[in-house]
Amino acid sequence: MFCLIEFTLDRSSGVSTYLQLAHQVKQALRLGTLRPGDQLPTAREVVESLAINPNTVLKAYRELEREGLVEGRPGMGTFVRQGVAGPTLADHTRVRRGLEAWVRDARAAGLDQEDLRVLFAVVIADLAKEDVA
């Protein structure tokens, strides 16, 4: 079967393997590379490429299931649930272009990468506060 997502492992990250797998699925949902109805690779497929314990894959999928992102269909596999809406591809592209313009602007103003990260985090935090208030 053609796999929609290819897992990778950072063995030096200290993050447990199942969390890394779950995180990569969420990332793919956010980026729109995985969409509702898509099938996740089977435990066997993941195991054959990463040489990890199959239970680790099942644990990652259980975690995603608990969070309501995917569902296991007995005998068929694990699928992204309907109604799990990531941003549409068009929105994604538009927002990304805006962000690229912003990054160029900030660089031109002399901000380095670390400045950008801090600024970005501060703005996100501030807006989150406004939403609550």
Partner 1 sequence: MSAALEVTGLGVRYRRTWALRDCSLSVPAGRVAALVGPNGAGKTTLMHTAVGLLRATEGSVRVAGEAAFVAQDKPLYDDFTVAEMLTFGLRTNRRWDGEAAAARLAGLGIPLKRKVGGLSGGQQAQVAVTLALASRPDLLVLDEPLANLDPLARHDVMRTIMAETAGRELTVLLSSHVVSDLEETCDWLIVLNGGRMQVSGDIEELLDDHLVLTGPVGASEAGMRVVSAGRTDRQVGLLVRGAPSPDPRWQARRPGLEELVMGYLRNPESTAMPALTGVRP
Please report how close the Cβ of residue 9 comes to partner 1 at its closest, in angstroms.
Answer: 7
Q: Are 18 and 59 in contact (CB under 8 A)?
A: yes
Q: Is 71 in a helix, a strand, or coil?
A: strand
Interface residue with partner 1 among 24, 49, 103, 116 (CB under 8 A) is 49
Regarding 19 and contact with partner 1 (CB under 8 A), the answer is no
The partner residues of 47 in beta bridges, in order of sequence, read none
Q: Are 67 and 111 in contact (CB under 8 A)?
A: no
**Residues in binding contact with partner 1, number by CB under 8 A:** 17
Residue type, 112: D
Regarding 4 and contact with partner 1 (CB under 8 A), the answer is no
Interface residue with partner 1 among 7, 17, 25, 28 (CB under 8 A) is 17
Please report how close the Cβ of residue 53 comes to partner 1 at its closest, in angstroms.
Answer: 5
CB-wise, 56 or 84, nearer to partner 1?
56
Task: Spell out a b/e string for 103-126, using b for 16 or more CB atoms within 10 Å of the CB, else e.
Answer: eeebeeeeeeeeeeeeeeeeeeee
Q: Are 60 and 25 in contact (CB under 8 A)?
A: yes
Regarding 39 and contact with partner 1 (CB under 8 A), the answer is no
The span of 30-38, 44-52, 66-74, 115-123 binding partner 1 (CB under 8 A) equals 44-52
Regarding 13 and contact with partner 1 (CB under 8 A), the answer is no
> What CA–CA distance (Å, rounded) separates 54 from 48?
9
Interface with partner 1 (CB under 8 A)? 9, 11, 17, 42-44, 47-57
